[in-house]
Amino acid sequence: MADSLGNAGEHIRLDYVPRAGLGRLAIVNFLLNVVTLTLYRFWAKTNVRKHIWSCVHINGQPLEYTGRGIELFKGALLVFGLFVLPFVLVATFISIALGPEHPALFAVYGLLYLLIFLLWGAALYRARRYQLSRTLWRGIRGTLVGSSMIYSLTFFGAMLARGMSLGWTTPVLNTVLQEQIIGDMRFGDLAFKFKGRAGPLYPTYALCWFLSLLALIVFAFVFGAEVAALLGPEVQNVFDDIFKPDSEPTSDQIWTASTVIAILAFSFLAMFLVIPMLWAIYSAKELATFAAYTRAGNATFKLNATAGSLISLVIVNLLILIFTLGIGRPFMQHRLIRYMCDRLEVVGTIDVHRIAQSQAVLDRSGEGLADAFDLGVV
Amino acid sequence: MAIEAVYFDGETARDNKVVVSLEASGLRISGESVPAQTWDLPGLTAIDPPHLEHPLRLSHESQAGARLSIRNDAFTKQLLIAAPHLKGGFHPQRALRLFLWIGGGLTILAGLTYLTLNFAPQRLAVLLPDAWSKRVGEQMEASLVQNAKVCQTPDGDRALAAMLANLAESTPDMPPLRVRIYDIPIMNAFALPGGFIVLTHGLLREASDPGEVAGVVAHEIGHVAHHHPEAQMIRIAGMQVLISVATGTSGGNNASSLAGLAAILKSTRDAEREADAYAVGMLSAARVDPMALKTFFEKILKEEGKSSGSAFSNLGTVFSTHPVTTERIERIKPLPADVVLKSPLSDMQWKALKEICG
């Protein structure tokens, strides 16, 4: 460990040191969730974070998660009582008083969705702030010092602009949003800074955009041909024969029918897999770029994110989710955090000894909005 | 045994090298940059259960922000013998608190469930303004029959009106109604909020006697008179709120489709019994043989037995919303022998009604 003689700073090194017990935790959490009609989810989430946080060692000292299940529970109750329940009650009242097809009902739900979109960014920001304020390293906690509402408005505006520009403003907007949130981030009194242009992201963005367009065109073509074949008399007759009662289709007919169905299913699947995979190239570039734009003290960050590794991270996580029926969710988080720790490098030094405790007031409850919107934040 | 450890004071991130020794009074901590102090053992908390390759991290109640980080397996072992509570595991007090919070939440949920599903609906249904139930009923009827055509012929309409008039004759407090027949092939009949009653062509076709149709109509009037459809609607709306309470979200966001469900879901056994009793009373007062309703129920029961093989064939028939049971059939008794029975419709009228859908 470093000496105490007030030198220029320490080099920072991240290690992910796994510890046993995550599997047991996953199963216990699952069982208690079932027994309590998911009310236990707040405590479950907390226990998983405690475990995973303690596996992240920075210069040999693990992180500590000090959040409590009850804080998440209160946060959810608060948002539910002040935000969700009034809407549900008004909507229920309208559907009884004015009828289930009355336009006022659609107006109420329209307003609800508008509010959800307006508050989406705030939900993310507040969840991040709560987690940072519950994360200790060497006894010092983090926080976000800015306003969640300003972030939320930016986020909402970005959502609209992104849609209107067919996505082409994404790199600029993501950079702006990242600058806001990183600029607000503190560890104790150590400020993080984010500075950089979106320009270098554009070549990769353009590549992914045009590749996706190409993929879409190819799929549309394959799909069109498929549908044409399906509607054509030949295949139609085969299907008619197969679905006739008491039919005994020939193996040729079955072959034709299953080929048609298989190609159809495959092109659908491919569409939902290939396009996100293409975008992993951009995601990797953005992650790496944003890390490089981030500074803390005299240190910069280097994230060795690649499209291939991101894809395999996400696909294995998806497989875990599917094959454990969601019970293995903690392992998805564990893999994500490990990925970050393994690939994040801190270049330069931070004068850790001078970092003083954060004076920000602690929220007494957390993540209510995020829970209501089911954001599934780590 | 004295060992080296690291101490964080919770004020700065500085790592203070300290010497820690285990003594009778607790952990004695001393170092150059740290005031000498002793942490008694009962006040210690382990940040996480001890684990190889991970430092043992301790905090103490006397100094909430401070942390002591020990990397010495031999010392840790000794400490755990002296203070076994640091091993973690089951913590009765914390478990009790958790149990109380979650138990409290579940109790409230159970209470709300009882309130919304059993206690409130029938009581609120009576209080619902007529204008509200009419509006809702009309919209539900439109969405349930989709684009099915209303069956109408001048003679058929007159026959239907005559049947209702016959039934109403001796039941002066019959609620206001609107009965419509739709050209829908499956056999069905239902009552909606606001006194809207829907019969299907399929039901007319199956009936072999005007008394059978009168019986079914009287049964549906029974639901209307007892405000069952309104109660059902409130129950469904309550269910939506409950789902949203339980999941903490805005539920399915589809109040409209759920309200539509109100007409399809099984009504309660009590509601069926009440409607049956009302029907028998009404038929008896009008001197229409209640045995015709019995015959029709028996037909339905037989029909159900036939199709019980597949779940789909039962869906959307009158019997799935009003399950006919032998118990219900047996409760229908013939009128005393000295009562002169009356047919609710003349032969001409019955023919006109049967042909109302063309």
Domain ranges of chain A: 202-282
Q: Answer whether A139 sits within 8 Å of B250, measured CB to CB.
A: no
For B63, the closest chain A residue by CA position comes to A139
Task: Supply the DSSP symbol for B196.
Answer: E
Crossing angle of the two packed helices B269-285 and B291-307, in degrees rounded to 10: 140
Through-space distance between the first and last CA atoms of chain A, rounded to whole angstroms: 30
Dump pLDDT digits (tens) for A133-150.
Answer: 999 999 999 999 989 999
Q: Kindly report the number of other CB atoms within 10 A of residue A210's CB atom.
A: 11
CA dist., res. B159 & res. B347, Å (int):
10
Answer whether B242 touches A (CB < 8 Å): no
For A57, the closest chain B residue by CA position comes to B54
The partner residues of B3 in beta bridges, in order of sequence, read: B20
Minimal C-alpha gap between A375 and chain B (Å): 12
Dump pLDDT digits (tens) for B73-107.
Answer: 899 999 999 998 888 777 888 889 889 988 998 88
**What pLDDT, on the 0 to 100 scale, is given for residue A17?**
94
Ordered strands of the B63-70 beta sheet:
B34-39, B26-31, B16-23, B2-8, B63-70, B56-60, B44-46
Nearest CA to A37 among B19, B103, B319, B114? B103
When computed from its CA atoms, the radius of gyration of chain A, rounded to whole angstroms, is: 25
Between A107 and A369, residue with greater pLDDT: A107
**What pLDDT, on the 0 to 100 scale, is given for residue B237?**
79
Q: Answer whether B15 sits within 8 Å of A61, measured CB to CB.
A: yes
Q: Answer whether B248 sits within 8 Å of A2, measured CB to CB.
A: no
Of B13, B49, B257, the CB nearest to A352: B13
Answer whether A37 touches B (CB < 8 Å): yes
Q: Answer whether A89 sits within 8 Å of B241, measured CB to CB.
A: yes
Q: Which residues from chain A sit within 8 angstroms of residue B259, using beta carbons? A: 95, 100
Of B66, B136, B240, the CB nearest to A99: B136
Q: Answer whether A40 sits within 8 Å of B253, measured CB to CB.
A: no
Answer whether A355 touches B (CB < 8 Å): yes
The count of residues in chain B is 358
Dump pLDDT digits (tens) for A153-202.
Answer: 999 999 999 989 999 999 999 999 999 999 999 999 999 999 999 999 99
Q: CA A218, A219, A222, A224: dihedral to nearest 10 degrees?
A: -110
Ordered strands of the A135-137 beta sheet:
A10-11, A344-350, A298-303, A294-296, A190-194, A185-187, A140-144, A135-137, A64-65
Tokens of B199: 């019969």
For A352, the closest chain B residue by CA position comes to B13
**A357-361, B25-29, B268-272, B310-314: segment of lowest average pLDDT:** B310-314
> Is A3's pLDDT higher than 50?
no
Domain ranges of chain B: 2-89, 107-354
Tokens of B351: 């023919």
From start to end of A239-362, where are the E strands?
294-296, 298-303, 344-350
Averaged pLDDT, A114-119:
89
Enumerate residues 166 to 225 of chain A having a beta carbon within 8 A of any beta carbon in chain B.
188
For A7, the closest chain B residue by CA position comes to B14
> Is B10's pLDDT higher than 60?
yes
**What pLDDT, on the 0 to 100 scale, is given for residue A222?**
79
Minimal C-alpha gap between A231 and chain B (Å): 28
DSSP A110-176: HHHHHHHHHHHHHHHHHHHHHHHHTEEETTEEEEE-S-HHHHHHHHHHHHHHHHHTTTTTHHHHHHH
Model confidence at B260, pLDDT cuts 50, 70, 90, reads very low
Minimal C-alpha gap between A352 and chain B (Å): 6
Report which residue type is found at A201. Answer: L
Q: Which residues from chain B sit within 8 angstroms of residue A119, using beta carbons? A: none
Query: φ and ψ at A290, to 5 degrees?
Result: -60, -40
**What pLDDT, on the 0 to 100 scale, is given for residue A374?**
61
CATH of B2-89 given 2.60.40.1120, 1.25.40.10, 2.30.29.30, 1.50.10.10 = 2.30.29.30
> In the structure, how many helices (H) and strands (E) does chain B have?
15, 10
Query: φ and ψ at B144, to 5 degrees?
Result: -80, -40
Of B12, B49, B257, the CB nearest to A356: B12
Q: Answer whether B98 sits within 8 Å of A60, measured CB to CB.
A: no
Local structure of A316: helix, strand or coil = helix
Of A36, A101, A355, the CB nearest to B143: A101
Ordered strands of the B178-182 beta sheet:
B178-182, B196-200, B189-192
Answer whether A72 touches B (CB < 8 Å): no
Dump pLDDT digits (tens) for B183-217.
Answer: 988 888 888 889 999 999 988 998 888 999 999 99
Q: Answer whether B69 sits within 8 Å of A61, measured CB to CB.
A: yes
Q: Answer whether B250 sits within 8 Å of A99, measured CB to CB.
A: no
Give B108's contacts (C-beta < 8 A, 6+ positions apart): none
Percent of chain B with pLDDT strictly greater than 70: 87
For B259, the closest chain A residue by CA position comes to A100
Of A19, A101, A357, the CB nearest to B256: A101
Residue with tokens 């894809």: A311
The answer to whether A59 touches A14, Cβ cutoff 8 Å, is no
Q: Answer whether B135 sits within 8 Å of A4, measured CB to CB.
A: no
Query: What would you measure as the largest C-alpha separation in chain B, in angstroms?
Result: 112
Of A84, A88, A97, the CB nearest to B132: A97
Of B13, B98, B255, the CB nearest to A138: B13
The count of residues in chain A is 378
> Is B259's pLDDT higher than 70?
no
Minimal C-alpha gap between A372 and chain B (Å): 5
Q: Which residues from chain A sit within 8 angstroms of residue B142, using beta carbons? A: 101
Dump pLDDT digits (tens) for B155-183.
Answer: 999 999 999 999 988 888 888 899 999 99
**A224-228, A312-316, B15-19, B199-203: segment of lowest average pLDDT:** A224-228
Answer whether A235 touches B (CB < 8 Å): no
Q: Which residues from chain B sit within 8 angstroms of residue A19, using beta carbons? A: 51, 53-54
Dump pLDDT digits (tens) for A73-100.
Answer: 888 888 888 887 888 888 888 878 887 7
Q: Answer whether B241 sits within 8 Å of A88, measured CB to CB.
A: yes
Enumerate residues 17 to 76 of chain B having a beta carbon within 8 A of any beta carbon in chain A.
17, 32-33, 47-49, 51, 53-55, 57, 65-67, 69
